């Protein structure tokens, strides 16, 4: 049966060694989940994340990874 409620929240992994702080992921996240702090990206509001992957698709540095257990 198809359920509409999410079982698990997505996880967002950030590779701090690879992130160059370009803020592309922050700009193109439709839910304002991410923010820049000290030159690299941080998760600001995980609850708002829909696991759409738009941040990951546009991160040029392979530094952000969204893991959605439901998908």
Partner 1 sequence: MFDYEQYLRKSKMPLIWCAGCGDGIVMKAMLRAIHKLQIAKDDICMVSGIGCSSRLPGYLDFNTLHTTHGRAITFATGIKMVKPELHVIVITGDGDATAIGGNHFIHAARRNIDLTVILFNNHIYGMTGGQVSPTTPFTKHASTAPYGNIENPFDISGLAAAAGASFVARATAYNAIQLEKLIQKAIEKKGFSVVEAMTPCPTTYGRRNREGTGVDMLLYQKDNSVPVAKANKMDAEELQGKIVTGVLVDREKAECRQEYQNLLDHFSKEGEVDS
Q: Which residues bind partner 1 (CB under 8 A)?
A: 17-18, 20-24, 27-28, 57-62, 66-68, 71
Q: Considering beta carbons, is residue 1 or 16 the nearer one to ligand SF4?
A: 16
DSSP sequence for 21-70: ---HHHHH-TT--EEEETTEEEES-GGG-----HHHHH-TTS-EEEE-TT
Q: Binding partner of residue 33 among ligand SF4, partner 1, none, CB under 5 to 8 Å per kind?
A: ligand SF4
Tell me: does residue 21 bind ligand SF4 (CB under 6 A): yes
């Amino acid at each position: 049966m198809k359920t509409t409620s999410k079982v698990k929240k997505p996880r967002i992994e950030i590779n701090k060694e690879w992130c160059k702080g370009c803020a592309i992921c922050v700009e193109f996240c439709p839910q304002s989940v991410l923010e820049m702090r000290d030159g690299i990206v941080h998760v600001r509001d995980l609850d708002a994340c829909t696991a759409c992957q738009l941040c990951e698709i546009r991160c040029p540095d392979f530094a952000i990874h969204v893991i959605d257990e439901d998908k």
